[in-house]
Amino acid sequence: MTTIEAVTEPRGGEATEAPPGGRLGTVTPVPPDTLEGRPPPGNGANGKGGNGGFGDGDFGGREGLPVPAGKIGLLLALGSMSIIFSALASAYIVRMGLGGWVSIPLMDMPLLWVNTGILGATSVALVVAWKRSKSGGELAARAPVLFALALGVAFLVGQWFAWGELQQAGLYVATTPASSFFYLITAFHGLHIFGGLVALGWVVRRLGTSTSPGSGVLAVELTGLYWHFLLVVWLGLFGLMLVT
């Protein structure tokens, strides 16, 4: 004898199905009121993507976080850079203690002091840009950001001329361990300065054109933090080379 499984569809959308053995069972329906208020699949609580989504106003940060995701990412990156620069400074100190170390007369190179002042002025300009972006709008911050961009270029050019002064004095990359470290430290720091210039150019383009309220302010703030970090790193490395 063949068992026939039957499926019926009574009113209210309830479905009954005959399980093996020929007995009809009832599938309990989900009450309609439990589905009310739920977002559609694939959308977050605010309709901006699953798991909360991404908000444009917080520069790519997740909604509900007290700190924007962009700032968290920058802080993590700065932490990694700090480890690398610290390792470079440690290697400098260790090599200096091995003997045969001839220091570079950095006190006789006023251009390095000028470059240090230029880098400090860059940080000041970005502080002004951040304050203007908060009080006067994003467009008000473009002028100081452009000024900071020009100062950053001037710093790199100044470092290049400082290399030229060393070469005129007969100090090349492989001349002494001290000169090797000087070229390495300034080149590595200059590479990060170039990355900061790219970021400043992107901020200038973003200011006044972003459709996300407040994103330009955050972009200026994050870029400023990066340049403040580069200033602190340079002061530490330059001071280390001076005292040794």
The pLDDT tens digits for 16-70 are: 454 455 444 444 555 555 445 454 444 444 444 443 333 344 444 445 567 889 8
Residue 10's pLDDT band (boundaries 50, 70, 90)? very low
Q: H-helix or E-strand containing 17?
A: strand 16-17
Does 144 or 12 have the greater pLDDT score? 144
Q: Please tell me the predicted confidence (pLDDT) of residue 99.
A: 84
What distance in Å separates the CA atoms of residue 224 and residue 149, rounded to the nearest whole number?
11
Q: H-helix or E-strand containing 25?
A: strand 25-26
> What is the amino acid identity at position 75?
L
CATH topology of domain 71-243: Four Helix Bundle (Hemerythrin (Met), subunit A) (1.20.120)
Average pLDDT, the chain: 81
For the chain, what are the domain ranges? 71-243
62 bridge partner residues: 54
Q: Please tell me the predicted confidence (pLDDT) of residue 110.
A: 93
Which residues, including other chains, have CB under 8 Å from residue 88's CB and lie 6 or more apart?
A: 184, 185, 188, 237
What distance in Å separates the CA atoms of residue 59 and residue 76, rounded to the nearest whole number?
16
As given in the structure block, the two tokens for residue 23 are: 């007995």
pTM of the full predicted structure? 0.73
Q: Is the pLDDT of residue 125 over 70?
A: yes
What burial class does residue 145 get, using C-beta atoms within 10 Å of its C-beta: 0-12 exposed, 13-18 middle, 19+ buried? buried
As given in the structure block, the two tokens for residue 66 are: 């007290």
What distance in Å separates the CA atoms of residue 162 and residue 231, rounded to the nearest whole number?
18
Length of the chain, in residues: 244
Contact 31, 45 (CB under 8 A): no
